[in-house]
Structure 1
Amino acid sequence: MSDKLDRLAHLAGIEEGWHDFFGNWRPVSAETKRAFLAAMGFAVEDDEALARSLDEFENRPWRRWLEPVQVIVQGQGAAEVTVTLPADRDDVEFRWELVEELDIRHGGTFRPATLPMLEEREVDGRLCRRRLLRLPGLPGPGYHVLRLTQGEDEASMDFIVAPPSAYLPKALEEGRVWGFATQLYALRSERNWGCGDYTDLGDLMRVAGRLGAAAVGVNPLHALFPNQPHRFSPYAPSSRLFVNIAYLDVEAIEDFAECQKARRLVAAPAFQGRLSEMRNAELVDYVGVASLKRPVLEALWESFREKHVAQDSPRAFAFAEYQRQGGWKMEQFATFEALQEHFLEQGPEMGWWRRWPQEFQDSHSQAVDEFRESHADRVGFYLYLQWQADLQLAAAHAACMEYDMPVGLYRDLGVGIADDGAEAWSQQTLLSLGVTVGAPPDQLNLKGQDWGLAPFNPIAMREDCYRPFIAVLQANMRHAGAMRLDHAMSLQRLYWIPRGSSADQGAYVRFPVADLFALVALESRRNRCLVIGEDLGTVPEGFRERMQAARLLAYRLLYFERRDDATFKEPGEFPDLALVAVGTHDLPALKAWWNDYDLELRERLDLYPKPEMAPEERRGRQQDRERLVWALRCQGLLPDDFPTGRDLDDGQIQALQQAAHAFVDRTPSKLMMVQIEDVLGTEIQMNMPGTTDQHPNWRIRLPLTVEEIGRDERFAGMARRLLEGRCPAPQRDKVALS
């Protein structure tokens, strides 16, 4: 049976092993293979079940005329389709019809015996032959359908044609641009309620536009858990198909001006006192902010129902149209929100849908349909919140149009979802529940990482014609000019961990990389959305070359761009088709990096597998400081006597920050992103990978308000230094640096 297990695992995409950071080969155990196969839906509980699963999986393609989907890239594949037909129908006439996305139809007939034969196999006592059907030509890029008919029998497949590369804005085709990167929750303002919101985002877009920036990048805006506001990690969402309503600007909702009850709630002295506490807090208090926003949002929904829905007003029509466009997925999402609210009233342990009564665990059950009808008001409330969030996000992105920003809002697509959220509940058959996603040990996370996320099942995803993957792309390219693929290597393979095992006991699972790249390119073109692939960490051979061919921007950080001898690369050694930055949210700000803030934190939180690694890392950091100063000196960006020890004064930190960004600016890379916390010279790290509540991840707020950032000379100075090389001519007339 071990041979059968190995073969089934190989066919399902489970790799035999992996090399760890230290070069050791880590073979995958039989137990891990069985756990992964079970998560993919295979019966492997005993040898007999394993043999049946292997037989069914190997013969599945021979039992159907067409595969569920075929993806062809223009210029890289012929207009041909593999058909699998019984040999006893070789001389029977079949009809084919290709229906284009715009309902343009093409068709013809063929007899299987006239087609080139590829191979044959006897299945279920019947000889089947695989042949090649050549079509007259390819339709344009889009989602088409191919049908075969013979008598009363019919088969169909999704026939997807993709462009060879993703969208690249004209400003990046012709030159280089720059932008700001930040975390939306971290934004302060004179008017927000203790957490950055969509209005703050729009205001920051205007500040960035006035300074000549091409883009503003933020953390994932995925829908979290409004009934569990303590679950605030943007990378562990309930759904990536919808947006986070915690970022709603309550007072900007149109109904606020019409709702006396809401205005009275906000005007109350006790409310204003709590609001002042939230606004002035050092860290975001998500539970406290939610306790302020929720009753006001409830009042706004009540007002909207009475003054618009009941009166069939134009706004009621706009709301209905939004729901129509959202379709069944949106209805299911709002139903989940209402169900989770309902069951949480019975106790906090009821937040996970696996603990709900059996009839509610199936999102398609009659009980769920009946709940949706009997709780239509609560479902409507969550639809209303999504509608308002979508409107405010659209307005924030539209702010970039005022300053001709070549990119605009730059969104982040997380690599997975929480397995107890709305997306997992509604798409159970498409996910691999029972495993989690993470990363093997590397130099930053020596124990490996378990992100606790549920991955797509690559087999089920293909059987469903990649629709869930396409939907996620479309949702996150909405109201955006760029999208970052977090852990882009997931297009080719993803590191899975059996639930309950340590992070170094996982294995890689392959995904249909060619098809997924093609779909990214197709949606990028259709949405005119630049795509950045975060390709840090362990990168499979050939992956970066594939990214370059598809015109996905690579992700290059100054800290990591080294030669084999660990010295920093010169600017000219960076790739042009890339995003370049000093650091990112998972790394310490430049000042914190210089002062060993992250190393001391790792030691304090026991993140080193061996105690002796901590002093080794500190010695290594001293060498890195010396290497960085040397690289900056060689570019004439720092004086020869610039110190390399810790405890720089404020002037020296500012000189270091300016030199590091000037170094990055000299690279040919198309897009340069500037972390706001680096410009401010803060000693913080927004997220410490490998931690949960040991570090205030996703809660740290910036020391300045958005209004103050717009008046801060440090930002104006940064913009002046980037103006000539990275600000396209149409923008320059609108740049305001005084």
Structure 2
Amino acid sequence: MTGTRTDELARLAELHGVAVSYRPAPDRTVTVPDSAVVAALHALGVDATTPEAVRTALADQERALRERLLPPTVVHWAGDPHDPAALTALPPRTRVRIETEAGEESYRVSAPLVAGLPLVAGLPLGVHRVTATAPDGRTAHAHLVVAPDRLPAPPGRSYGLLVQLYSLLSRRSWGMGDLGDLAELAGWAGRVAGAGFVQVNPLHSAVPGAPTDPSPYRPSSRRFPDPVHLRVEDVPEYAYAEDRERLAGLLERAARLRATVLDKGALIDRDAVWELKREALETVLAVPLGPGRRAAYDAFRAAHGQALDDHATYYALAETHGPDWTTWPDGLRDPRSAATTRARAELADRVAFHTRLAWLTDGQLQAAQRTAREAGMPVGIVHDLAVGVHPAGADSWAQQDVFAAGMSVGAPPDAFNARGQDWGLPPWRPDRLAACGYAPFRELLRALFRYAGALRIDHVMGLFRLWWIPQGSPPTEGTYVHYDAEAMLAVLALEAGRAGSVVIGEDLGTVEPGVRETLQRRGVLGTSVLWFERDWTGDGRPLPPERWRADCLATATTHDLPPTAARLTGDHVELRDRLGLLTRPAAEERAEAVADVTEWLALLGGLGLVDSVGPADSAGLADSVGPVGSPGPVGSTATGPPGADEEAEVRAVHRFLLRTPARLIGVWLPDGVGDRRPQNLPGTCAEYPNWRLPIADREGRAVPLEELTAAPRLRALLEVFAQLREG
């Protein structure tokens, strides 16, 4: 490429939010390949394949920006006394009409303003429609998002449990944790343990078929939950199903499937669970709805409209044509085609079946949240929003117009992965989102907030930019594409405020300057994991508790990291060594792991956070279940080798978290029984059973919910937070 073309391409890319370089560190700039820039522009509908095409596209875009009256979406924060810049820049005597979300209209004149009153004065919160007509006859339409200044804050300080729901089996589940188990855990944790929340993995709908992708972070749809999580017996119509013999047989098969996991050490088999539940639900849903239930069902359908119809239609079509809509007959690949309309009518019974499943799952999710709040939890259930969706799933079929074709989301190379990452998720097009007033994002959030006391947003940096990788290229040959973060945050603040829900952003890893500050200013909590909290601008030593940020969820680990016991004992290094994942000699990895843990334990010991008495000698929750045994060599936490008394060390780690000013503190539930295995081991696929492990004790024996809540080790760990229960 010539120098001239590079300059023009860079300017064209800048106008469309496509990066030509990025800075992985303050002192380092990386230039992205021109091929990635050209591919990203193509996905945005811009031809940049030749120098002539670049010049033409650049001229067209610059002219469009010069002549534009309004951008497609305008943001106004309710606490700002001034009009948005886009409105104040309108030509004098421009006629402005604002239609509110409720359908009310008002006419106002732009600059010079009448009596100096701003155009947006008195507008309610919501997404309104603005029409501007300039004196020269030009007319523009825009979406005006009026959002609260900040998102809701947590109601006081609290701690909670973090768990992957599928791993939380009870003796009543059908082989994996379900929404009945979630409600049971929330009820116990709120009333007995004084927890303020329970955080779960994404419960989005999975891609149908067997085998399905077990990862909850690569769903078919983020808009609607997965019916595999239903507690079938809790569906009201279950009691009236006629074929009791069939249901009894399915219950027996479910008991055997559950026993293979809890008693025989088998992995969770989601596909087998769904096969049983689907067959049972076919019988249960044959029962007619009573008048009240029918009214509630109809209201749900009306509330979700076309999106729900599309979702159910996709699953009905997938039963006939397979789960990958890109391989369907031509007419069916378009959700608005005549062929799809005919198929929807022909498959009306199956569409109705999948619509009912979405409604039932939504209902049990709301019931779990009610149980949590009734148990005294100030927050309740914290749900997880995945970064994106499967390229062959329901959302990518129904919303093709807002997804960037031929691109995948991932991460550039960094210190932890020199090859970068490709997550296999198609990104949203920022231009199409802005053009429709972020409607898909708004509808997604509104659906989740129906049953979420708080929402965790995975890779929250995606509200600002995402790493786009052209199809067929390695992750190293991608580029960043920027989004209108102010608009995304405004929509988030609007919907969270309406629901009264807290938002937690997963902001781990490389974060561009200013992002954390912007999120904090708007009330989005961050995520702080103990082992990563060091003085990176100073000597690199562990960060003392008083220097942690307050606006965060503080934890000792996550689903992608080793459980605390594995970190303390070095088991995580041995696991990665067995799987051939180490990039350095095992001895070096072990030495570094020991040094890291030793530094942290020294800080914990210096702060006096080590058990001075056995947990059986302390009052409160631990005493309520009887003696929990000897505390072991307590002094080992401060002076002995890491892992010498892991239970005391695990408690010390959580006492440290309690010393920080963090508004929310999360306890990884498997830490309560000494589980050594991460639920997901990044960099593996077939080598490790990601997303299929039940919660287990230190010997790897699965622990059902009934034993888990009575486990002395968990009770002793949660006793660390007695002061939060009392305060």
TM-score by length of 1: 0.87
Aligned partner of 1:595 in structure 2 is: 569
Alignment of 1:472-491 (within 5 A): 472-491=444-463
Q: Distance in 2 between matches of 1:215 and 1:164?
A: 25
- Distance between the aligned counterparts of 1:358 and 1:109, measured in 2? 50
State the alpha-carbon separation in 2 of the partners of residues 431 and 136 from structure 1: 32
Q: Cα offset for 1:64?
A: 4.8
**Contact residue 256 and residue 263 of structure 1 kept, 8 A:** no
Letter in 2 for 1:137: A
1:285 maps to a residue whose letter is: D
Shift of 1:155: 4.1
1:636-647 matches, cutoff 5 A: 636-638=608-610, 641-642=636-637
Instruction: Verify: 1:697 aligned to 2:690, yes or no.
Output: yes
Distance 1:697 1:330 in 2: 30
The structural deviation recorded for 1:274 is 4.0
- Once residues 516 and 168 of structure 1 are traced to their aligned partners in structure 2, the CA distance between those partners, rounded to angstroms, is 18
Does residue 634 (structure 1) correspond to residue 627 (structure 2)? The answer is no
Amino acid at match of 2:171: E
Instruction: Tell me if structure 2 keeps the 8 A contact 1:9–1:37.
Output: yes
Aligned to 1:183: 164
Q: How does 1:445-594 map to 2 (within 5 A)?
A: 445-564=417-536, 565-594=539-568
C-alpha change, 1:272 and 1:453, in structure 2 (3 Å) is closer
Q: 1:63 to 1:693 in 2, by over 3 A?
A: farther
Matched, 1:656 2:655: no
1:337 is aligned to 315
CA-CA distance at 1:33 after TM superposition: 0.6
Classify the secondary structure of the residue corresponding to 1:552: coil
**Alignment equivalent of 1:198, drawn from 147, 154, 179:** 179
Further displaced range: 594-603 or 454-463: 594-603
CA contact (8 A) 1:442 1:537 kept: no
Question: In the TM superposition, what is the alpha-carbon distance from 1:62 to its structure 2 partner?
Answer: 4.4
Helix, strand or coil: the match of 1:260? Answer: coil
Question: Against the structure 1 CA distance between its residues 95 and 179, is the aligned structure 2 distance closer, same or farther, given a 3 Å change threshold?
Answer: same
Alignment root-mean-square deviation, CA: 2.8
Instruction: State the alpha-carbon separation in 2 of the partners of residues 35 and 614 from structure 1.
Output: 41
What is the distance in 2 between the residues matched to 1:613 and 1:438? 28
Equivalent AA in structure 1 for residue 179 of structure 2: Y
* Distance in 2, Cα, partners of 1:272 & 1:456: 39
AA aligned to 1:293 is: K
1:396 aligns with 2:368: yes
Preserved CA contact (<8 Å) 1:488 1:534? yes
Q: Does structure 2 conserve the Cα–Cα contact (< 8 Å) formed by 1:556 and 1:580?
A: yes
Q: Flag the 1:32–1:601 CA change in 2: closer, same or farther, 3 A.
A: farther
SS in structure 2 at match of 1:158 = strand
Residues 52-93 of structure 1 show CA distances to partners (whole Å, capped at 9, x for unaligned) of: 333333333445543322111123462256479999xx8xx7
2:223 corresponds in structure 1 to 241
- Residue pair 2:21, 2:30 contacting (<8 A) in 1 also: yes
The answer to whether residue 279 in structure 2 is matched with residue 295 in structure 1 is: yes
Question: How far 1:109 moved relative to its partner?
Answer: 4.5
Alignment of 1:686 onto 2:668: no
**What SS is found at the alignment partner of 1:170?**
coil
How many angstroms apart in 2 are the aligned matches of 1:212 and 1:133? 50
Structure 1 counterpart of 2:613? none
* Deviation of 1:475 (Å): 2.1
Number of aligned residues? 687
Tell me how far apart the structure 2 counterparts of residues 454 and 343 of structure 1 sit (CA, whole Å).
22
Asked whether the equivalents of residues 73 and 518 of structure 1 are also in contact (C-alpha less than 8 Å), the reply is yes
Secondary structure (helix, strand or coil) at the match of 1:532 reads strand
- Call closer, same or farther: CA 1:713–1:17 in 2, change over 3 Å: same
Whole-Å separation in 2 of the counterparts to 1:153 and 1:10? 26
CA distance in 1, matches of 2:120, 2:247: 67
Deviations 1:123-149 (A, max 9, x none): xxxxxxxxx995262513222222235
The C-alpha deviation readout for 1:6-48, integer Å capped at 9, x for no partner, is: 2221111122223447965321111111111112222334444
Q: Give the corresponding residue for 1:710.
A: 709
Deviations 1:310-339 (A, max 9, x none): xx7332232222111111011011111111
Task: Kindly provide the amino acid, as one letter, of the partner of residue 249 in structure 1.
Answer: R
Q: Name the CA shift for 1:508/1:599 in 2 (closer, same or farther; >3 Å).
A: farther
Q: 1:547 to 1:440 in 2, by over 3 A?
A: same
Residue type of the alignment partner of 2:393:
G
Deviations 1:223-267 (A, max 9, x none): 112334522210001111110111111121122111132552433
Match of 2:55? Answer: 51
Check the 8 A contact 1:65/1:84 in 2, yes or no: no
Q: Is the 8 A contact 1:179 1:216 kept in 2?
A: yes
User: 1:511-550, CA deviations, whole angstroms, 9 ceiling, x for partnerless residues?
Assistant: 1112222222222211101111111100111111112211
Aligned partners of 1:223 and 1:244 also within 8 Å? yes
CA distance in 2, matches of 1:191, 1:57: 60
Shift of 1:507: 2.1
Label 1:15 to 1:213 Cα distance change in 2 as closer, same or farther (>3 A).
same
Paired AA for residue 187 in structure 2: R
Q: Is the 8 A contact 1:242 1:386 kept in 2?
A: yes
Structure-2 change in CA distance of 1:632 and 1:467 (3 Å): same
> Gaps (5+ residues) in structure 1?
117-131, 345-350, 730-738
Superposed displacement of residue 181, structure 1: 0.5
* CA distance 1:674–1:517, change in 2 (3 Å): same
CA distance in 2, matches of 1:168, 1:366: 47
Counterpart residue number, 2:355? 383
Any idea what SS the aligned residue of 2:243 has?
A: helix
User: Which residue is 2:7 aligned to?
Assistant: 3
Name the residue aligned to 2:106: 106
Match of 1:251 in 2: 233
Q: Quick one: distance in 2 between partners of 1:728 and 1:155?
A: 57
CA-CA distance at 1:3 after TM superposition: 2.7
Q: Is the 8 A contact 2:594 2:642 kept in 1?
A: no
How far the C-alpha of 1:607 sits from its partner, in A, is 3.8
Partner secondary structure for residue 709 of structure 2 = helix
Distance in 1 of aligned mates of 2:90 and 2:23? 44
**Identity percentage of aligned residues:** 35
Asked if structure 2 preserves the Cα contact closer than 8 Å seen for 1:622 and 1:645, the reply is no
Look up the match of 2:614.
none
Deviation at 1:656, TM superposition (A): 0.8
Q: Using the alignment, how far apart are the partners of 2:365 and 2:188 within structure 1? A: 17
> 1:80·1:134 contact (CA, 8 Å) conserved in 2?
no
The match for 1:13 among 17, 23, 48 is 17
Q: Give the conservation status (yes or no) of the 8 Å contact 2:555–2:666.
A: yes
Tell me, yes or no, if the aligned pair for 1:40 and 1:431 is still in contact at 8 Å: no
CA distance in 1, matches of 2:70, 2:514: 30
Q: Offset of 1:712 from its aligned partner?
A: 2.2
Aligned equivalents of 1:157, 1:548: Cα separation in 2: 28
Q: Distance in 2 between matches of 1:722 and 1:145?
A: 49
SS at match of 2:437: coil
Q: 1:169 to 1:632 in 2, by over 3 A?
A: closer
Aligned in 2, Cα 1:54/1:364: closer, same or farther, shift over 3 Å? Answer: farther
From the superposition, tell whether residues 521 and 154 of structure 1 become closer, same or farther in structure 2 (CA, over 3 Å): same
SS at 1:442's partner residue?
coil
Segments of 5+ residues of structure 2 without an aligned counterpart are 611-633, 696-701
Confirm whether residue 420 of structure 1 aligns to residue 402 of structure 2: no
